[in-house]
């Protein structure tokens, strides 16, 4: 395989934007709705960033096994990521300071921006170039 795994490269390039996005969400949340909203928005951004890392690393692992495993992890990971966000929302919504509106208002744009960033990083590359076959990894 030539170069780094694309999934790990996405994490390497996107992760530095996580802290500024988290601080921005915290600041906007505090400004618009107080500390509870600020922390809720910051948690929303943190969930998006952690979901990216977990999904990318699981795809990198699957790519070393087979294309079928990449498909299974990709589709199952999508459902798991959505379920994780929903579970965090439901569990945190029981806390008196938590703002579901601020959480969702941070998760949605953070996810959209992340998807645009991923698409930009991968644009111009053919899917066949993104994953190594088992033969390539044994060399």
In 3D, which of 110, 88, 105 has the Cα closest to residue 37? 105
pLDDT score recorded for residue 128: 52
- Angle ∠(91,97,102) on CA atoms, nearest 5: 80
Q: Which residues of 100-110 are buried (b: 16+ CB within 10 A; e: fewer)?
A: eebbebbbeeb
Domain boundaries, the chain: 6-123
Question: pTM for this one?
Answer: 0.80
Tens of pLDDT along the chain (139 residues) come to: 455 677 888 888 888 989 999 999 999 999 999 999 999 999 999 999 999 899 889 988 998 898 899 889 988 888 898 999 999 999 999 999 999 999 999 999 999 998 888 788 767 655 555 555 545 555 5
pLDDT score recorded for residue 124: 64
């Amino acid at each position: 395989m030539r170069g780094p795994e694309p999934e790990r490269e996405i994490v390497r390039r996107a992760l530095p934007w996580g802290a500024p996005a988290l601080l921005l969400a915290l600041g906007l949340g505090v400004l618009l709705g107080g500390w509870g909203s600020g922390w809720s928005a910051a948690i929303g951004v943190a969930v998006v960033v952690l979901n990216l890392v977990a999904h990318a690393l699981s795809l990198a692992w699957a790519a070393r096994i087979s294309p079928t495993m990449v498909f299974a992890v990709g589709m199952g990971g999508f459902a798991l990521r959505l379920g994780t966000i929903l579970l965090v929302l439901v569990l945190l919504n029981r806390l008196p300071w938590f703002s579901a509106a601020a959480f969702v208002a941070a998760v949605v744009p953070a996810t959209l921006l992340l998807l645009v960033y991923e698409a930009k990083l991968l644009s111009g590359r053919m899917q066949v170039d993104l994953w190594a076959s088992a033969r390539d990894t044994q060399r």
